[in-house]
Amino acid sequence: MTSLALSSVVSLRNGVDMPLIGLGLSHNGGYSDDAVATALKIGIRHFDTAQRYGSEPHLGRILAECGIPRNELFITTKVWRDNYDEDRFTSSVHQSLAALKTEYVDLLLLHWPGHRDGQHGRSAVWKLMEQAYAQGLAKAIGVSNFLPAHLDQLQKTAKVMPHVNQCEYNPLQQSPAITAACQAHGILFTGYCPLAKGHALTQEIIQDIAAQKKKTAAQILIRWCLQKGVPVIPKSIKPPRVAENADVFDFELDGRDMQSLDTLHCDFRATWDPTGVL
């Protein structure tokens, strides 16, 4: 297996390099200046936010003040479905860029597959994403929480297929159908919720491997994702947890460990379930 490091990247279909690990931000108290500062200090360069989170201005401020050149940072944000209409989409993207104090984001995602006009509406908003990409507002574009059927539908009208599909991913939810569909379409599958919001931490298999490796259960889960080739964005507002989640490059899970963790898939969802979205 290729040696992994905090600086490791994966190349998207268009040649853009995306860090394998980042810091996920959130809403309802899911942002902390101290967490971002810690991430920057230890070498994390990928920061994932969204319009819906309300954390874009805070992230923009601290990144603008950190002294790290913009081209060394990787910023992801997501357009919320309230802004999918043509008369709101472009202005919302420009508002996000202004809040983030940047002329472009490295990755712009549609946050959710649902659209009040169904497949037609989804195709229409994807055309707006393609325009944002062509205008240089985003170095890469993608989707989040899209199922295989949504990707197949999009292919019928898309000129540029998504570069990324960001979905829940952890040993309890391995999304096999989605990962296969992404591979078929040349889309990089990336993961959020690698700890299953804590639900995976108490699994006996995970705890046993953690004890053997002298690592935490969280570190085992994140390392498993990375060895699967799935970039992840673990979330935390606590600096010690941010540092812990990034300290996963001084050990390796062997084949038996990986197989044991693979057996935990039970289609459990710790967060949003898009299966009802037509």
Separation CA 81–CA 245 (nearest Å): 30
User: Could you give the C-alpha distances from 272 to 40, 48, 268, in angstroms and in order?
Assistant: 29, 17, 11
At 184, the amino acid letter reads A
User: Could you give the C-alpha distances from 169 to 34, 93, 155, 271, in angstroms and in order?
Assistant: 26, 27, 23, 11
Element holding 123 (H helix, E strand): helix 118-134
Residues near 164 by beta carbon (within 8 Å), at least 6 away in sequence = 12, 18, 107, 109, 140, 141, 142, 143, 187, 188, 189, 190
- For the annotated catalytic residues, the residue numbers are 53
Q: Which of 205, 171, 226, 203 is nearest to 10 (CA)?
A: 226
Separation CA 211–CA 271 (nearest Å): 28
